[in-house]
Amino acid sequence: AQSVAQPEDQVNVAEGNPLTVKCTYSVSGNPYLFWYVQYPNRGLQFLLKYITGDNLVKGSYGFEAEFNKSQTSFHLKKPSALVSDSALYFCAVRDGNRDDKIIFGKGTRLHILP
């Protein structure tokens, strides 16, 4: 069965420090991976995706993610955190049986401390 895990409910980072939000996955077939961000009372905004190609994927707002096949991970990173990065982050993976369906992780709340 396809699944995605975000092991941390909340991550606290001081402004200016690097941040990492963790995601691991379990899929049959090729993994197609996504990161979304959600600000309070808003819809989800797409940050980046891995379909194929380079393992380091660059996305919106200075975020990047590294696809690691051996560790089945797709951690989200940013070199220098901003207070405005505080939000709820979701990792998602295509359902291996359905191209029109993605499975979301439970979400990680990122709190950037000023």
Q: Total binding residues for another protein by CB under 8 A?
A: 24
21 vs 107, which CB is nearer to another protein? 107
Minimum CB separation from another protein for residue 15, in Å? 23
Q: How many CA atoms lie within 13 A of 23 on its CB side?
A: 34
Question: How far separated are the first and last CA of the chain, in Å rounded?
Answer: 41
User: Per-residue x/- marks for another protein, 84-103, CB under 8 A?
Assistant: ----x-x---x---xxxxx-
Q: Are 105 and 5 in contact (CB under 8 A)?
A: yes
When asked if residue 41 is in the footprint of another protein (CB under 8 A), the reply is yes
Rounded CA separation 6/14 (Å): 21
Rounded CA separation 89/78 (Å): 13
82 vs 88, which CB is nearer to another protein? 88
When asked if residue 32 is in the footprint of another protein (CB under 8 A), the reply is yes
Amino acid identity of residue 80, one-letter, is S
Q: Return residues touching another protein (CB under 8 A).
A: 32, 34, 36, 41-46, 49, 51, 88, 90, 94, 98-102, 104-107, 109
